[in-house]
Structure 1
Amino acid sequence: MLNHKCVECGVSFYMGHQGYLFVKTLSPLPHPLEKHNGQWYYLPYESLEELEKSLLQLQQELGDLFEHIKGGLSTTEERPYITFPLNLLLMRIVQRDVVNVIQNGELMSFIQPIISLQKNDELYGYESLLRTGGNHSITPGQLFSTAEKTGMLSLLDQRAREVAIQARKNFIQPGVKSFINFLPSTIYNPDFCLQHTFHLVTQYNIDPADLVFEVVETEKIEDINHLKNILYTYKREGMKVALDDVGAGFSTLETLKMLQPDYVKIDRHYVDHCDQISEKQSFLAQVMGIAKDLGIIVLAEGIERKEELEYCREIGIDLAQGYYIGKPALPSNIFIYGGK
């Protein structure tokens, strides 16, 4: 059975500038909500500003009950098919500008180069990083924070994967890897939720072996078995997987052993001045030992100094990424350290 939250993935949330707010509850609701029929109440509104004001007033009057009642919007007096908890509905109205960007705004993929330290710094791949386009200047952090608060992470994560795959098709040569972030919590049923991504790979005639899907650093791993199932689903389709930011928070060395990804990316904290700090050198040695035993490719991210790069090369780290090598940029503007 699919998780009930699947309704949020790929489904647009329509915010008509005029329409009706519908609320479903067993308890009588205060004026100005009017009884519709059965358990339903409704309230007409003439603007989103008016709707926001009405929801805030209702929140004040209902108190804690507000978040346990569901509501939806409609442009007619017919009840909506999809409803949400009122606190979620209110958040979507309050954050409507960012919500519109998440749903329909122009998104683009910046890319940051990754080089092979053991092969003369030749280009190995790019990490795809989500950015907004057009007249919007919304940071990725703000996008994902708003998406989390409004229950739209699944939709945003899906769109981010789509623009990354499109950018790869248009700008990246076959044989060069694309590292694409994903949020495990948005994938409730891997066989179902990832079909959109797999369809895009087929549609754009991309070799699955050129794609590396990585668990992003902001995601907390709560269910290792579920994550293992997601990684297995990617691998079954011929793609590679990476564990990001090992050493930071949830990404421990034990997690690395349990998940056994194709790649491991070492957190910037352990790369910063690794040429000078013995504790960081000890941690890097541990990662390298485990990775060698399991056949995992190691990537040092966040390299900002030549000394860091050379130390990572010296101890056998395979790949490197960071501002010293190349900053994230539009594919047409990319510059790589060393001119390679």
Structure 2
Amino acid sequence: MSSSNTSDNPAPDAYPYHGAAEHGACPSCASGERLGFGFSYAFQPIIDLHDRQIFAHEALVRGVGGEPAPTVLSQVTEQNRFRFDQAGRVKAIKTASRLGMQSKLSINFMPNAIYRPELCIRSTLEAARAHDFPIEQIIFETVEGERINDGKWLTEVFREYQRIGFLTAIDDFGAGFAGLNLLADFQPDIIKLDMDLIRGIDQSRTRQAIVRATVGMCEELGIKVIGEGVETADECSALFDLGIHLMQGYLFSRPLFEACGQAEQLAWPQ
């Protein structure tokens, strides 16, 4: 995030980032500005088909009444992107703790909103401590579909998160901005296969070959693989045969608004 102001003659306090970094505080964190709109979360289970347990829940933004994500994301601008990213992390942790979530919690973050990861992560750490949610149970994954402006910068952010103790995940692996070049620079704990690779994989030898090779590569690098967007029993079976046992999709559960899934309540394939 840039610390420059685009107006010709800014007022002294118009941009509260001025000099804050010199005092050890992230300028955006110290701004105290509010978003001006509310939001909440739905949680979609990521299942472990081998153990028939819930591995994690992904926090998916929703309106305060459960409205779909675009009603919230349409209000995110370049000016409030950082504040939304920070507020989202805190709210996801707070809500997961209130619900008594026992699984890992996967939080999407906006890599283009990060200012200084070693400072801006403080609000997340404070929220985890305040709500007694272990940081080793928190996964940070890149926001689905967000163009990554600087892959080297994302690598730096991810490394800092790993150093602190968070888990990291590359979302939409196989799509344009989440491919082999990124993986060559940084090895996350988890990759989530792009759902376009998953769709109809049971009927596509090409997709099967690509996923098989990806699974083998990740095994060698010590990276877990999640198949997301699983909608049919045949897709699930094909992924399991290819060595993937962590999956997410409507086949098992839709996102649950302000609720956690329970293993015994999910739609497990026979």
Could you state the TM-score of these two structures normalised by the residue count of structure 2? 0.84
Shift of 1:239: 1.1
Shift of 1:140: 2.2
1:59-115 Cα distance to aligned partner (Å, 9 max, x none):
xxxxxxxxx64588xxxxxx672169xxxxxxxxxxxxxxxxx81433211100111
User: Which residue is equivalent to 2:252?
Assistant: 325
One-letter code aligned to 1:118: H
Structure 2: gaps (5+ residues): 17-33
How many residue pairs were aligned?
249
Matched, 1:258 2:257: no
Residues 200-209 or 265-274, more deviating: 200-209
User: Which residue is equivalent to 1:165?
Assistant: 93
Matched, 1:144 2:73: yes
Q: Distance in 2 between matches of 1:336 and 1:71?
A: 58
The 1:106–1:147 alpha-carbon spacing in structure 2 relative to 1, beyond 3 Å, is closer
Matched, 1:156 2:84: yes
One-letter code aligned to 1:130: V
User: Which residue is equivalent to 2:130?
Assistant: 203
Q: Aligned ranges for residues 200-239 of structure 1 at < 5 Å? A: 200-239=127-166
One-letter code aligned to 1:151: Q
Q: Distance in 2 between matches of 1:313 and 1:172?
A: 30
One-letter code aligned to 2:54: L
One-letter code aligned to 1:161: R
Runs of 4+ in 1 over 4 A off after TM superposition: 68-72
Matched, 1:180 2:107: yes
Q: Distance in 2 between matches of 1:71 and 1:141?
A: 35
One-letter code aligned to 2:57: Y
Shift of 1:252: 1.1
Q: Distance in 1 between matches of 2:171 and 2:38?
A: 27
- What secondary structure does 1:218 align onto? coil
Q: Which has the higher contact order (CA 8 A, sep 6+)?
A: 2
One-letter code aligned to 2:64: G
Higher Cα radius of gyration: 1
User: Which residue is equivalent to 1:41?
Assistant: none
1:251-307 Cα distance to aligned partner (Å, 9 max, x none):
112322322100000011010110101111111012112101100000000000001
Q: Distance in 2 between matches of 1:338 and 1:128?
A: 21
Shift of 1:3: 4.3
Could you state the TM-score of these two structures normalised by the residue count of structure 1? 0.67
Shift of 1:336: 2.0
Is this contact kept in 2: 1:118–1:316, CA < 8 A?
no
One-letter code aligned to 2:73: F
User: Which residue is equivalent to 1:118?
Assistant: 50
